[in-house]
């Protein structure tokens, strides 16, 4: 698996994974780091709009549609299978590192987010844990951070990737 990526995982939804990533990205971008993000989605999604040329191309059978503007590129691949995380990561070579939200079943090192009232246990294998972000202390010999310690968590990640 890719050694330029780590997962941000949690036992369930609403534990703070997206909030953590959002705040880390603000820190990393201010420091000039290029960070990619991969988000797993359990259901089908479509962010194109009916009637737009890109939508027409996609619905007409294009395997891939790229939409390009002066400041953005969006790639839509129409697949009849779920692309592996490893294949997705292979396409993301121009980033300092990649944060992956979800994919808790993959063999990536990870930061686990635990939130009282939502989480019931730490779900990650201990040898894969880089750190725990939690509102309570866990009896584990692993770096632990409070959910709002974004700067400290960012430093931990930069140390992990040697950037």
Q: What is the pLDDT of residues 59-101, one digit of tens each?
A: 898 999 998 999 998 888 888 888 899 999 999 999 999 999 9
Please report, rounded to a whole number, the percentage of residues in the chain having pLDDT higher than 90: 68
**Number of other residues whose CB lies within 10 A of the CB of residue 92:** 15
Domain residue spans of the chain = 5-44+81-161
Q: Compute the distance between CA of residue 125 and CA of residue 130 in angstroms, rounded to an integer.
A: 10
Quickly name the fold that domain 5-44+81-161 has.
Rossmann fold (3.40.50)
pTM for the full predicted model? 0.88
For residues 17 and 101, is the Cβ–Cβ distance under 8 A?
yes
Indicate the pLDDT class of residue 44, thresholds 50, 70 and 90: low
């Amino acid at each position: 698996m890719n050694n330029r990526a780590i997962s941000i995982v949690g036992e369930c939804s609403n534990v703070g994974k997206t909030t953590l990533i959002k705040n880390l990205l603000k820190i990393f971008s201010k420091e000039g780091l290029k960070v990619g993000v991969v988000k797993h989605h359990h259901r089908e999604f479509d962010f194109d709009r009916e009637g737009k040329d890109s939508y027409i191309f996609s619905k007409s059978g294009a395997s891939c549609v790229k939409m390009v503007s002066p400041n953005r590129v969006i790639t839509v691949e129409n697949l009849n299978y779920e692309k592996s995380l490893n294949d997705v990561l292979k396409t993301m070579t121009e980033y300092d590192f990649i944060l992956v939200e979800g994919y808790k079943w993959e063999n990536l090192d990870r930061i686990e987010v635990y939130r009282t009232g939502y989480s019931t246990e730490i779900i990650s294998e201990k040898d894969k844990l880089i750190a725990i972000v939690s509102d309570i202390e866990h009896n584990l010999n692993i770096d632990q951070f409070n959910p709002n310690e974004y700067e400290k968590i960012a430093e931990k990640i930069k140390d992990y990737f040697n950037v």
